Amino acid sequence: MGHTVALNFEDGVTRFIDCMGNETVADASYRVGINIPLDCRDGACGTCKTFVESGAYDGGDYIEDALTDEEAAQGYGLACQMRPKSDLVLRVAACADACKTRPATHAAEIASLTRLSDSTTVFSVRVGAGPLAFLPGQYVNIQVPGSEQQRSYSFSSPPGASEAEFLVRNIPGGLMTSFLEGVQPGASLSFTGPVGSFYLRDVRRPVLMLAGGTGLAPFLSMLERLAAIGTAYPVHLVYGVTHDADLVQVDRLEAVAARLPSFTFETCVADAASAHPRKGYVTQHLDASHLNAGDVDVYLCGPPAMVEAVRGYFGEQGIAPTSFHFEKFSPSGVVTGSV
Kindly state whether residue 61 participates in binding ligand FES, applying the rule CB under 6 A: no
What residues are paired with 195 via a beta bridge? 13, 139
From CA 183, how far away is CA 60, in angstroms rounded?
53
Does residue 279 contact residue 269 with C-beta atoms inside 8 Å? yes
Q: In what helix (H) or strand (E) does residue 45 lie, and over which residues does it extend?
A: none
Kindly state whether residue 78 participates in binding ligand FES, applying the rule CB under 6 A: yes
What residues are paired with 328 via a beta bridge? 302, 335
Total of residues contacting ligand FES (CB under 6 A): 13
Angle at CA of residue 103, ends 97 and 107, nearest 5°: 150
Q: How far does Cα 199 stand from its chain's mean position?
A: 3
**Residue 216 touches which of ligand FES, ligand FAD, none (CB < 5 to 8 A by kind)?**
none
Closer to ligand FES by CB, 70 or 148: give it.
70
**Residue 334 touches which of ligand FAD, ligand FES, none (CB < 5 to 8 A by kind)?**
ligand FAD
Kindly state whether residue 48 participates in binding ligand FES, applying the rule CB under 6 A: yes
Kindly state whether residue 218 participates in binding ligand FES, applying the rule CB under 6 A: no
Pairing of strands 323-328, 335-338: antiparallel
Does residue 50 contact residue 91 with C-beta atoms inside 8 Å? yes
Q: Return the residue of 66, 88, 125, 164 that touches ligand FES, per CB under 6 A.
A: 66
From CA 251, how far away is CA 294, in angstroms rounded?
30
What's the one-letter identity of residue 322? T
Q: In what helix (H) or strand (E) does residue 169 lie, and over which residues does it extend?
A: strand 164-169
Q: Smallest distance, Å, CB 11 to ligand FAD?
A: 13
Kindly state whether residue 278 participates in binding ligand FES, applying the rule CB under 6 A: no
Q: Where does this chain bind ligand FAD (CB under 6 A)? A: 139, 151-154, 166-169, 171, 173-177, 214, 217, 303, 327, 329-331, 333-334
Residues whose CB is less than 8 angstroms from the CB of residue 3 and which lie 6 or more positions away in sequence, other chains included: 18, 19, 55, 84, 85, 86, 87, 88
Kindly state whether residue 41 participates in binding ligand FES, applying the rule CB under 6 A: yes
**Residue 39 touches which of ligand FAD, ligand FES, none (CB < 5 to 8 A by kind)?**
ligand FES
Among the residue ranges 37-45, 154-162, 190-198, 281-289, the one whose residues contact ligand FES (CB under 6 A): 37-45
Q: Return the residue of 4, 30, 38, 127 that touches ligand FES, per CB under 6 A.
A: 38
Does residue 34 contact residue 66 with C-beta atoms inside 8 Å? no
Closer to ligand FAD by CB, 48 or 168: give it.
168
Q: Return the residue of 11, 27, 44, 98 that touches ligand FES, per CB under 6 A.
A: 44
Give contact residues for ligand FES (rule: CB under 6 A): 38-41, 43-48, 66, 78, 80
